[in-house]
C-alpha cells in the first residue's frame, strides 16, 4: 500500500512539473528531485577517476562531447559524474584541475557535473562548486559518515546494498535530502540478484553493475547510475569493463 501511494505521488509530480517531491517513509522524510521543464528521470554517467580518463584532457573532452550528443536526443537528463578521492589502493586519483575543466566545459554545454566522494577533503572540494546537483556516496559502510558533513539543502544520492541500510540512514540523518540507488557491489553483477534484493524499489533508483541494460528497461528508474566508457578495450583493471556502457550501447535506453 505504501509503495502504491509513493508511486501515485511520483506520477503527480511528473504531471505538475514540481521541482521537489517529499516522501514520508517511517516518519522520516526523503526527497525525489526533478529538473524544471525536463523529464524527471536522470541517468548518471560515471566517468570514473584517473584510471578511466587516464587524466588526459582530451579523453574527458571526448567523453563530455559524446554525452552532449546523447543529451540532444533524449528527454532524460544526463548527469556527468566523476569519482573524487585522495588515495585509494590500485586507483589513480582524478587530477582536480581536470575536474574543474570538466565542470566548466560541461556547464558551457548545458550539462551538470557531480561526483562520488571518498574522503572529507574530496567532499570539501566538491562543495566548492556552487551548482553541484548532488553529492554521491558510494556503497561502502565507512563512507556513510560523510553525510553529516553535507549541508542539508544539498541532495545526496546514496548507494545501498540492502533496504535495512536505507532505513538505518534515513533514521540516522533526519532532514538530509537523501535519495537511494539500490546496488549490488559486484563487478559484474546479475539482474536476478538486484530483483531478489530490492524488487519494486528498483523503480526509484539503481546503481547498475550488470553487463546488459535490462534492469533499466524493466524498471525505468527515476535515478539510474551507469559506468561510462568511450570504448571497450583490454584493461589491467581487476574488474574489467563488462559492467560499463558506451554511447552506442546507451542509445537503447535513451
- pLDDT digit string (tens) for 109-155? 999 999 999 999 999 999 999 999 999 999 999 999 999 999 999 99
Which pLDDT score, from 0 to 100, does residue 239 have?
55
Asked whether residue 184 is domain-assigned, the answer is: yes
Distance CA 246, CA 95 (A): 23
Residue 234 has pLDDT above 50, yes or no: no
Residue 225 pLDDT > 50, yes or no? yes
Domain that holds residue 205: 40-253
Q: How many structural domains is the chain composed of?
A: 1
40-51 in b/e burial notation, b at 16+ Cβ within 10 A? bbbbbbbbbbbb
Which H or E run contains 82? strand 77-84
Residue 1 domain-assigned?
A: no
Residue 227 forms part of a structural domain: yes
Domain presence at residue 230: yes
Distance CA 19, CA 1 (A): 25
Whether 16 shows a pLDDT value over 80: the answer reads no
CATH code for position 124: 3.20.20.70
Residue 29 counted as domain residue: no
Assess contact for 48 and 89: CB atoms under 8 A: no
The stretch 73-81 carries a mean pLDDT of 96
State residue 52's pLDDT score: 85
Residue 1's Cβ-side half-sphere holds a number of Cα atoms within 13 Å equal to 0
Query: Of all residues in the chain, what percent carry a pLDDT higher than 70?
Result: 81
User: What tens digit of pLDDT does each residue of 32-60 get?
Assistant: 443 343 345 999 999 999 888 999 999 99
- Distance, in Å, from the CA atom of 116 to the CA atom of 85, rounded to the nearest integer, reads 8
Total Cβ atoms within 10 A of residue 89: 4
CA angle centred on 62, ends 35 and 67, rounded to 5°: 25
Q: 20-25 and 28-33 as β-strands: parallel, antiparallel, unpaired?
A: antiparallel
Residue 25 lies in a domain: no
116 and 81 Cβ atoms separated by less than 8 Å: yes
The x, y and z cell numbers of residue 218, run together, are: 524493466
156 sits in which H/E element: strand 156-160
Q: What is the pLDDT of residues 158-173, one digit of tens each?
A: 999 999 999 999 999 9
Residue 23 lies in a domain: no
In this predicted structure, the answer to whether residue 21 has a pLDDT above a threshold of 70 is: no
Q: How far apart are CA 37 and CA 44, in angstroms?
A: 18
**Is 205 a domain residue?**
yes
CA atoms within 13 A on the CB side of 61: 3
Q: What is the pLDDT of residue 32?
A: 44
3-state DSSP percent of the chain in helix, strand and coil, to 5 = 40, 25, 35
What is the C-alpha separation between 204 and 223, in angstroms, rounded?
Answer: 6
* pLDDT at position 77: 97
Question: What tens digit of pLDDT does each residue of 161-206 get?
Answer: 999 999 999 999 999 999 999 999 999 999 999 999 999 999 999 9
pLDDT reported for residue 241: 75
Calculate the average pLDDT of the chain.
85
Residues β-bridged to residue 180: 158
Amino acid at each position: 500500500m505504501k509503495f502504491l501511494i509513493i508511486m501515485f505521488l511520483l506520477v503527480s509530480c511528473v504531471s505538475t512539473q514540481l521541482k521537489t517531491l517529499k516522501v514520508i517513509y517511517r516518519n522520516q522524510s526523503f526527497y525525489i528531485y526533478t529538473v524544471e521543464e525536463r523529464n524527471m528521470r536522470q541517468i548518471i554517467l560515471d566517468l570514473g577517476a584517473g584510471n578511466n580518463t587516464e587524466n588526459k584532457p582530451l579523453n574527458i573532452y571526448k567523453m563530455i562531447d559524446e554525452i552532449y550528443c546523447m543529451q540532444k536526443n533524449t528527454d532524460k537528463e544526463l548527469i556527468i559524474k566523476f569519482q573524487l578521492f585522495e588515495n585509494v589502493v590500485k586507483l589513480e586519483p582524478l587530477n582536480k584541475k581536470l575536474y574543474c575543466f570538466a565542470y566548466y566545459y560541461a556547464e558551457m554545454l548545458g550539462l551538470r557535473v557531480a561526483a562520488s566522494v571518498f574522503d572529507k577533503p574530496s567532499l570539501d572540494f566538491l562543495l566548492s562548486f556552487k551548482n553541484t546537483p548532488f553529492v554521491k556516496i558510494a556503497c561502502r559502510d565507512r563512507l556513510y559518515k560523510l553525510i553529516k558533513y553535507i549541508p542539508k539543502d544539498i541532495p545526496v544520492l546514496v548507494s545501498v546494498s540492502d533496504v535495512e541500510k536505507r532505513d538505518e540512514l534515513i533514521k540516522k540523518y533526519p532532514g538530509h535530502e537523501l535519495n537511494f540507488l539500490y546496488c549490488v557491489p559486484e563487478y559484474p553483477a546479475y539482474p536476478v540478484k538486484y530483483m531478489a534484493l530490492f524488487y519494486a524499489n528498483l523503480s526509484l533508483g539503481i546503481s547498475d553493475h550488470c553487463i546488459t541494460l535490462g534492469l533499466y528497461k524493466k524498471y525505468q528508474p527515476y535515478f539510474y547510475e551507469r559506468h561510462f566508457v568511450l570504448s571497450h578495450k583490454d584493461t589491467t583493471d581487476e574488474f574489467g569493463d563488462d559492467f560499463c556502457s558506451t554511447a552506442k550501447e546507451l542509445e537503447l535506453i535513451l
